[in-house]
Amino acid sequence: MFIGREPETQFLEELSSSGKPELFVLYGRRRVGKTELLQQFCRGRRAVYFLAAQVREKDNLRAFRDALQEGIDDPLAGSVEFPDWTAALNFVAERARDERLVVVLDEFPYLCESTKGLPSQLQRFWDTRGKASKLMLVLCGSQVSFMENEVLAERSPLFGRRTAQRRLEPLSPESVLPFFPKWSMRDRVLAYAILGGMPAYLRRFDDSRSLFENVARECLRPEGYLFDEVQFLLRSELSNPATYNSLLAAIARGSEKVGDIALDVDVARAAARRARRAAHRSRSVALATRYVPRRGSLPRLPFQAHPAAYQPDPRRPRRTRARGVHPARRRALVRPSAPCVHRRALARTSRRARRR
């Protein structure tokens, strides 16, 4: 059962029918549904879906040949032995000379691990053969940091070659509702509040049991699928998860602003800087989200009505204490308030008057 993803599917359809060579980069955190989306898209099309593994280059090339054989009706595809990825890509470009051929390389970071310099090979291929063919090449990966730094960043050989990119986000709330048709609307909304829009997590919940039972089984039992998921995600994406654990703990304790989180994690300046960077990184791994109130959305009521929201933080150094405070209140904090100015002016005039 494939649910939601209408905008993404439509976008892929548009790319596929553009009539031009396309190099599309799809990435997103683990379990968000990349593979499922791409497999759905390949169904019923002239397409080769290849899932790379953490094995030697030769084994991945062999597996690619098998995927080719499955995907396109070509007697040569089964017998050919590719010496390297340039040869394999030239083969598919040849098959895409007159007719659109979609080639998906899923878990692209694994391919790069087994073949050093693959992005450069790919760049050379694209500049010479790829962009003269009717190929739609999709590079897909779960390691967000790798995809952003090694594939999309300016220093990557592939920079400027991609014709489109998309970071796949969790499903929208309305797409989550059909996962649990047997539950009341209240329970479905609660399930979304607990699991977010992650299809892999949503699939673990079974609507033939109650919501409470599902939470007990999947989240709270040590054997449950979600019991250790945060640790698993941190370990798979980051080399040193310790700081990130502290960060998440700080957020759970109620620190909301980046500065507060940094203070909570460690007060030393260098550590605070590191923690800020880490907070940014956690957002990129989608473990934490940053909400910034829009200017217009600040309440117009007097601040006294919102003491909790706009109080300066006494733990901060004096210079930055008023940061995050409502602008009007900050003015009052950094400059002497109007009555105060008035009092000083009065004092000055009366001193002068006395001198005279």
Q: What residues make contact with Mg ion under the rule CB under 5 A?
A: 35
**Least separation in angstroms between CB 7 and Mg ion:** 19
User: By the 8 A CB rule, do 45 and 99 touch?
Assistant: no
Q: Measured from the CB atom, is 22 or 106 closer to Mg ion?
A: 106
Whole-angstrom distance between the N-terminal and C-terminal Cα of the chain? 91
Q: Measured from the CB atom, is 188 or 326 closer to ligand ATP?
A: 188
Partner that binds at residue 301, options ligand ATP, Mg ion, none, CB closer than 5 to 8 Å by kind: none
Least Cα distance to 267 among 320, 313, 316, 231 occurs for 316
Q: Measured from the CB atom, is 40 or 86 closer to ligand ATP?
A: 40
Q: Measured from the CB atom, is 123 or 214 closer to ligand ATP?
A: 214
**Least separation in angstroms between CB 135 and Mg ion:** 21
Q: Measured from the CB atom, is 197 or 324 closer to Mg ion?
A: 197
Q: Measured from the CB atom, is 91 or 110 closer to Mg ion?
A: 110
Partner that binds at residue 62, options ligand ATP, Mg ion, none, CB closer than 5 to 8 Å by kind: none
Closest residue to Mg ion, Cβ-based?
Answer: 35
Q: How many other C-beta atoms are found inside a 10 Å radius of the C-beta of residue 95?
A: 22
Q: Measured from the CB atom, is 126 or 205 closer to ligand ATP?
A: 205
**Least separation in angstroms between CB 116 and Mg ion:** 23
Q: Measured from the CB atom, is 96 or 102 closer to Mg ion?
A: 102
Q: How many helices (H) and strands (E) does the chain have?
A: 17, 5
Residues in contact with ligand ATP by the rule CB under 6 A:
1-5, 30-36, 142, 199-200, 203
Q: Which residues contact 31 (CB under 8 A, 6 or more apart)?
A: 198, 199, 200, 201
User: Residue 209: phi, psi to the nearest 5?
Assistant: -105, 170
Q: In sequence order, which ranges of the chain are alpha helices (DSSP H)?
A: 6-16, 34-42, 57-71, 85-95, 108-114, 118-128, 144-146, 173-176, 185-195, 199-204, 211-214, 229-237, 242-253, 258-265, 269-284, 327-334, 338-355
Angle formed at CA 111 by CA 156 and CA 54, multiple of 5 degrees: 140
Partner that binds at residue 326, options Mg ion, ligand ATP, none, CB closer than 5 to 8 Å by kind: none
**Least separation in angstroms between CB 193 and Mg ion:** 26
Partner that binds at residue 332, options Mg ion, ligand ATP, none, CB closer than 5 to 8 Å by kind: none
Partner that binds at residue 200, options ligand ATP, Mg ion, none, CB closer than 5 to 8 Å by kind: ligand ATP
**Least separation in angstroms between CB 52 and ligand ATP:** 11
Angle formed at CA 164 by CA 21 and CA 3, multiple of 5 degrees: 105
Structure tokens at 9: 């599917």
Partner that binds at residue 203, options Mg ion, ligand ATP, none, CB closer than 5 to 8 Å by kind: ligand ATP
**Least separation in angstroms between CB 3 and ligand ATP:** 4
Closest residue to ligand ATP, Cβ-based?
Answer: 33
- Measure the CA–CA gap between 192 and 170, rounded to whole angstroms: 11
Residue 165, helix vs strand vs coil:
strand
Partner that binds at residue 30, options Mg ion, ligand ATP, none, CB closer than 5 to 8 Å by kind: ligand ATP
Partner that binds at residue 199, options Mg ion, ligand ATP, none, CB closer than 5 to 8 Å by kind: ligand ATP
**Least separation in angstroms between CB 325 and Mg ion:** 44
Tell the residue number behind the tokens 């070659």, with chain if given: 161
Sheet order of strands, 164-167 included:
47-51, 101-106, 135-141, 22-27, 164-167
**Least separation in angstroms between CB 70 and ligand ATP:** 19
